[in-house]
Amino acid sequence: MQKIPKNRGLKNTSLLSAKIGFNVFVFFYLIAGPVVFAADAQQTKPATDDRPKVAVVLSGGGAKGFAHIGVLKVLEEEGIPIDIIVGTSMGSLVGGIYSIGYNASQIEDLVKSLNWEKTITDEVPRLFQSKYQQELKQRYFLSLPISEKKEIKLPRGLMKGQNVLNIFCGLAGEVPANADFSQFPVSFACVAADLETGDEVVIDRGFLPAAMYSSMAIPIAFQPSERDGQLLVDGGIVNNFPTDVAKRMGADIIIGVDIRNDYYGQDELKSISSVLNQLISFFDKDKDAVNKSYCDVIIRPDITGYSVSSFNRRAADTLISRGEEAALDVVAQLQKMKAEYNLQPRQPIYNFVKPEDWHITKVNYNGSYYLSNDFIANTFGLELPGNYSADDIKNGIDRIYGLGGFKKVFYYLENNDEGKTLNINIESEKVFTQNFGFKVNTTDAAAILINTTQRNYRNIFGLFSVNGELSVNPGLDVTIETNRTKFPTAGLSFNGKYQNINIYQEADKLFKTSLFFTSAGIYFYQPFFKRYYFGAGIREEYFNGDLFSKEGSFQLEEDKINMFLTNAYVYLSYDNMDDFYFPTKGTSMKTRFSLLGDLEDKKEICPALYFQMKNVIPAWQESSWLFDIYARALLNTNYPDVKMTMIGGESYTQYFDYHLPFIGLPAVNIGQEYVYIGMLGYRFHMSDSQYITLLANGLLQDSDWLLREDSEFIYGGGVRYSLKTILGPLDATLGFSNAVDKPTFAASFGYWF
Q: Which residue numbers are catalytic?
A: 89, 234
Rounded-to-integer distance, Cα 484 and Cα 373, Å: 10
Q: Which residues of 498-511 are buried (b: 16+ CB within 10 A; e: fewer)?
A: bbbbebbbeeeebe
Query: Residue 152 burial by CB count (10 A; 0-12/13-18/19+): exposed, middle or buried?
Result: exposed
Rounded-to-integer distance, Cα 447 and Cα 450, Å: 10
Q: State the alpha helices, DSSP H only, in 357-497.
A: 373-380, 390-401
Rounded-to-integer distance, Cα 403 and Cα 379, Å: 9
Spatial contact of 682 and 623, defined as CB atoms under 8 Å apart = yes
Query: Residue 601 burial by CB count (10 A; 0-12/13-18/19+): exposed, middle or buried?
Result: exposed
Angle at 327 between CA 326 and CA 331, to 5 degrees: 125
Query: How many residues make up the chain in this entry?
Result: 753
Upstream peptide bond of 488 is cis (omega within 30 degrees of 0): no
- DSSP 8-state class, residue 262: P
Question: Which CB contacts under 8 angstroms, 24+ apart, belong to 337-340?
Answer: 337/80, 337/253, 337/296, 337/297, 338/78, 338/79, 338/80
Residues 6+ apart with CB under 8 A from 335: 78
Rounded-to-integer distance, Cα 261 and Cα 64, Å: 10
Spatial contact of 601 and 581, defined as CB atoms under 8 Å apart = no
Residue 378 vs residues 39, 157, 439, 528, 572: alpha-carbon distances, Å? 31, 31, 37, 10, 20
Nearest to 9 by CA among 202, 197, 226, 200: 202
For residue 489, the one-letter residue type is: T
Residue 746 vs residues 3, 665, 718, 731: alpha-carbon distances, Å? 55, 10, 11, 8
Q: State the alpha helices, DSSP H only, in 16-130.
A: 66-77, 90-99, 104-113, 116-119
Rounded-to-integer distance, Cα 453 and Cα 139, Å: 13
CA 621 to chain centre: 24
- DSSP 8-state class, residue 394: H
Check the CA dihedral 103-106-111-114 and report its sign.
Answer: negative
Residues 6+ apart with CB under 8 A from 424: 363, 364, 365, 366, 376, 380, 397, 400, 409, 410, 411
Q: What is the H or E stretch that residue 369 is in?
A: none
Helices 208-216 and 90-99: angle between axes, nearest 10 degrees: 160
Residues 6+ apart with CB under 8 A from 117: none
